[in-house]
Amino acid sequence: MGKTYWMLVTTQENLSITRARGFSIQGVDTKNRKKAVRMAPEDRVLYYISDKQGFAATATVTSDSFEDEERIWKHHKENETFPHRVEIDADVVLDEAKYIDGLQVGPTLEYVKKWPPHLWPYAFYGMLHIIPQRDFNFVEGELRRANGMEPTLPVSDPIPAPLVAIVSGTEPPEGSGIADADQHQKLFSVALKSRKSSHRRRTQKHR
């Protein structure tokens, strides 16, 4: 199965606890057990901070889900220990002043379109949500920019350089590699014609 993209809704206090532990482990509350047990290595996690209404971090899951009752995070219910846990590695982590504004970004996400426009904040209720890869990549790109990092571009099949030059109808930029590739294509065509001409001459000679 492919990786799953999660949005984890937590508080600033609990994010600080996770951060103090080096983003090595993340717990999920009892209400979200059915989702939490599906978390697996290579899944991605996007952190939304409810009391700051902002996106703060991304991480990658590095273990299967397991249970542990050690009290690490805070909850208003004393018996809630966030027992469903996974090990994680941090990818992008912002300081609080750089959080991506959820009030601006939230309504644009594909995930929240399940709700009426005036009720989109309901999409962030509960601790753990499966979101589209497109939403995850978009928000992570914003996090990377806010952190002074190059955004990660989705991998796609490259268009052959000579075709780019032909379709665009413009001169390729210097240093792009397109001009060299185009020249290589021309030389290949000349060589191919030369081989065909030589073949015709040899054929006519032996007739």
Residues 81 and 119 in one domain: yes
Predicted pLDDT at 149: 87
Residues 93 and 30 in one domain: yes
Predicted pLDDT at 168: 34
Residues 75 and 113 in one domain: yes
Residues 176 and 129 in one domain: no
Residues 95 and 182 in one domain: no
Question: Residue 29 belongs to what H/E stretch?
Answer: none
Q: What's the CA gap between 128 and 155, in Å, rounded? A: 27
Residues 177 and 95 in one domain: no
| Final residue in a domain of this structure, among 97, 122, 146 | 146
- The answer to whether residues 85 and 65 touch, using CB atoms and an 8 Å cutoff, is yes
Residues 41 and 65 in one domain: yes
Whether the full predicted model's pTM is greater than 0.75, yes or no, is no
Segment 94-151, tens digit of pLDDT: 999 999 999 999 999 999 999 998 899 999 999 999 999 999 999 999 999 999 987 7
- Work out whether strand 66-67 and strand 128-130 pair parallel, antiparallel, or are unpaired: unpaired
* Residue 167, number of CB atoms within 10 A of its CB: 9
Residue 151 lies in a domain: no
Q: Which residues of the chain have pLDDT under 50?
A: 155-207
What residues make up the domain containing 14? 5-146
Secondary structure (3-state) at 6? strand
Count structural domains, the chain. 2
- The answer to whether residues 45 and 61 touch, using CB atoms and an 8 Å cutoff, is yes
Residues 141 and 166 in one domain: no
Q: What is the DSSP string of 174-200?
A: TTSSHHHHHHHHHHHHHHHHHHHHHHH
Nearest CA among 163, 188, 161, 187 for reference residue 176: 161
